[in-house]
Structure 1
Amino acid sequence: VIVVDDRSEDGTARMVRIFMKKFPNLRLVEIKDKIPSMAPKKNALFRGIQRARGEIILTTDADCVPGPHWLSSMVAYFEPGVGLVAGFNPYKSSAPYNNTFHQMLALDFFAMAAISAAFIGLGFPISCSGGNLAYRKSVFQQVGGFARIDRWISGDDMLFLEKVRDHTSWKIRYAIEPESFVPTLPPPNFKSFIHQRIRYASKCPRLALPVTLGLTGIYFLNLLILMAGALSFFNIKWLPIFLTSFFMKMLFEWNFLKSASKIFQQKISLKLFFLSEGIHPFYIVCMGLLGVLLPFQWHGEIYRRKSTLYFPTG
């Protein structure tokens, strides 16, 4: 187990050294400074992977809590020919995260995971989560690590996935057993949520053309729903367009999430779904714009899309 302490201020290094006395296979990598040639998280991952001796690399984040069977469950997917395995990071739903706001975030996060799993199943992977990800060290080396994506603040997962998909013949799988899930903490408040989603959206201009076109189509569908809804107040002819597009979107998404919930063994609240659907078009349109135009805050610093543009807040 390799713990990479990337300039943390919570005593991580001290605690790891204490545990190293009891667990000799525990390793600590300390990072003192940022480097201009690589985004901080990618630098931390790269340094950790350099120290790794095994062939299978599993990554998770500081706010994640892997279960006792996580490693064995993920590694079981590495049949011959499989180079990368993506996993699910469900948001914790226990107190204090059992309110309506956090339950809606959990539903949104589950929807993203379900889409990721669906496209991997279709043979065209488009996304994954770095909080629950595994790949062969030889695959990492084969694609040149994070080369060409190293300065993008986000994308140590999705952009790396694209490199494996487009430049190797390795198969990619998605782990769906509950033992492979790694619970993670949701954003604590609305401001943190907005910054997180802007960070997610910030890497979209770097995604492959088919993915970008698909996301653009989704964006304009939601924009159409908003515009048709607004114009319906001034011209009744727009009302059928609004109702048709909105309810077709809602019906498709409900059927998709219900099917995915059975596979992932997750429960979906109809009340939360309807509430989320009412907000979703605003959310998609706003985040799509903000992700391209605005910087985001992450770990006490403000970034734009690439690590060459950051602004310390302290």
Structure 2
Amino acid sequence: MRLPARLLHPRLANALRRRRRRSAPVRLGRNRRARRGGQHRTLPRGHPPERLPLRALRGDRRGRTETAPTEAPPRLRLLQMHRVMEESTGHKREALNHGISAARGPLILTTDADCTPAPGWIGAMTAPLRSADVAFVAGPVRYRLGAAGDEDGARKSFGARLFDRAQALEFLALQAVGAGSIGLGRPTICNSANVAYRQSVYQALYRPETLGAADDETLIQRIADETDARAAFCAAPDACVETPPADGPRAFWRQRQRWASMTPRYPDTGFTLALGTLYGFYVMLLAAAPLSFWMPALLGPLAVAAGLKVAAEAALLVPACRRFDQTELLGALLPFQPAHAAYMVGIGAAGVLGATQWKGRTVD
């Protein structure tokens, strides 16, 4: 097991060490925040410090040794990994495996270096693991959106903030799909910016020779398919972590392309076929729109298909927005409908056929 699937930016992993609830996280962070030394400021709070020894794993894509964070907690141990990343094309899989190998406890938590966990994050995410049959816990991740006067939105135009809301809504839809599939007992997708799982399961399912075998999405699917254990989704408020949205259309495209590149690697063929069917629907919807100018008979079916699309998305998003207190995002649902089908067709093709970029380099 390793864990990245929907590759958001740099990832950090936490291993919780327990001897009668003793915990010890390992945190892996490899982004600008880690370089600036600010990573430790978002370390989880609300957990006894004596039960929370930390490891941080960091590496620069150019192989440079980075400056250690200043004012870091004494329990924080830094693990340099730039050589691991220089010798690998597996990006986060190798990064996570390197960090998890340094963990000595039975539980692993992962999040991103730029994520901010809630104060009770560790307790909330590990609570479902008290059940012996639970091996994997996924938690909610929400985008941190800034208004014009806020720190996160001070330098952004109105259009940029609107784009952030649109990608936040799409991101929430993915979370809702993942949570629903877990609830139905057929887990499909999750986000390694907020997951917890047993290290014993990681070691049992880890396949270094199998490409993508440790990604969080394939891991959660393999747990359901290959073990008697089950996955759970923790929707408690303290289980939520916040992260900034992708910084502009270019970063957004590359991020989603990395996520889409996982589609052919899913072990659940039924889920892959369902995604293929949905992709075909978007292709037909996109093709019918211009053809309807020359073939008016297509207007009726096109309107019905578009209406069904909006209705299905609203049925998914309205309760999700209410549950996670993000109802303001619903205002982006209709305005971005015309571009959504084109985006889905383009990103699906780019993810499967195009080269995946991460940290300025092409990766497998």
Task: Specify if TM > 0.5.
Answer: yes
Shift of 1:36: 5.3
Provide the C-alpha distance between the structure 2 equivalents of 1:8 and 1:158, rounded to a whole number of angstroms.
25
The 8 Å contact of residues 146 and 156 in structure 1, kept in 2 or not, is answered as no
User: Over aligned residue pairs, what C-alpha RMSD do you find?
Assistant: 2.3
Whether the 8 Å contact between 1:232 and 1:238 is mirrored in structure 2 is yes
Normalising by structure 2, we get a TM-score of: 0.76
Q: 1:220/1:51 Cα in 2 relative to 1: closer, same or farther (>3 Å)?
A: same
Alpha-carbon distance in structure 1 between the residues aligned to 2:345 and 2:191: 23
In 2 relative to 1, CA 282–32 (structure 1 residues): closer, same or farther, beyond 3 Å?
same
Q: 1:136 aligns with which of 193, 198, 202?
A: 198
Identical aligned residues as a percent: 32
Contact conserved, 2:137 with 2:232, CA < 8 A, in 1? yes
Matched residues in 1 for 2:207 and 2:117: separation?
Answer: 25
Q: CA deviation at 1:277?
A: 2.1
The letter of the residue matching 2:142 is P
Deviations 1:131-168 (A, max 9, x none): 1110011111121x24354x44x972112222222211
Asked if residue 27 in structure 1 is aligned to residue 86 in structure 2, the reply is no
**Are 2:257 and 1:198 equivalent residues in the alignment?**
yes
Distance 2:63 2:252 in 1: 22
Structure 2 equivalent of residue 147 of structure 1 = 208
Indicate the SS of the match to 2:142.
coil
TM superposition shift of 1:10: 12
Between 1:293-302 and 1:130-139, the stretch displaced more is 293-302
Partner of 2:58: 5
Are residues 1:93 and 2:145 paired? yes
Secondary structure of the 2:163 match is: helix
Name the counterpart of 1:161: 220
Normalised to the residue count of structure 1, the TM-score between the two structures is 0.88
Unaligned runs of 5+ in 2: 1-53, 147-151
Which residue of structure 1 aligns with residue 240 of structure 2?
A: 181
Q: How big is each residue's C-alpha offset from its partner over 1:45-66, in whole Å with a ceiling of 9 and x where there is no partner?
A: 1111111122111011112121
Do the aligned partners of residues 101 and 146 (structure 1) sit closer, same or farther apart at CA in structure 2, a change above 3 Å counting?
Answer: farther
**Structure 2 contact 56–77 (Cα < 8 Å) conserved:** yes
CA distance in 2, matches of 1:48, 1:188: 27
For 2:250, give the aligned amino acid.
K
Q: Conserved in 1, the CA contact under 8 Å of 2:108 and 2:197?
A: yes
CA contact (8 A) 1:120 1:174 kept: yes
**Letter of the structure 1 residue corresponding to residue 355 of structure 2:** P
Q: Is the 8 A contact 1:17 1:28 kept in 2?
A: no
- Whether the aligned pair in 1 keeps the contact of 2:166 and 2:329 (CA below 8 Å) is no
Secondary structure of 2:189's counterpart equals coil
Distance of aligned partners of 1:136 and 1:248 in 2 relative to their CA distance in 1, 3 Å threshold: same
Structure 1 residue identity aligned to 2:177: I
Residue 237 of structure 1 is matched in structure 2 by: 297
User: What is the alpha-carbon distance in structure 1 between the residues aligned to residue 58 and residue 106 of structure 2?
Assistant: 22
Give, as a single letter, the amino acid of the residue that structure 1 aligns with 2:360: G
Q: Closer, same or farther in 2 for the Cα pair 1:2/1:167, shift >3 Å?
A: same
Aligned to 1:311: none
What's the CA shift for 1:7? 2.4
Tell me the equivalent position of 1:50.
101
| 2:124 equivalent in structure 1 | 73
Partner secondary structure for residue 99 of structure 1 = helix
| SS of structure 1 residue aligned to 2:336 | helix
The answer to whether the 8 A contact 2:254-2:356 is kept is yes
2:136 is paired with a residue of what secondary structure? Answer: strand
Unaligned runs of 5+ in 1: 307-314
- How many residues were matched structurally? 298
User: CA shift at 1:27, angstroms?
Assistant: 2.1
Q: 1:250 to 1:159 in 2, by over 3 A?
A: same
- The separation in 2 between residues aligned to 1:66 and 1:293, in whole angstroms, is 35
User: Which of the numbers 207, 210, 219 marks the counterpart of 2:270?
Assistant: 210
Q: Equivalent residue for 1:312?
A: none
Deviation of the 1:266 alpha carbon: 2.7
Q: Deviation digits for residues 224-248 of structure 1, max 9, x if unmatched?
A: 1112222110011111110011101
Inter-CA distance 186–11: structure 2 relative to 1 (3 Å threshold): farther
| Shift in alpha-carbon separation, 1:270–1:140, aligned structure 2, 3 A | closer
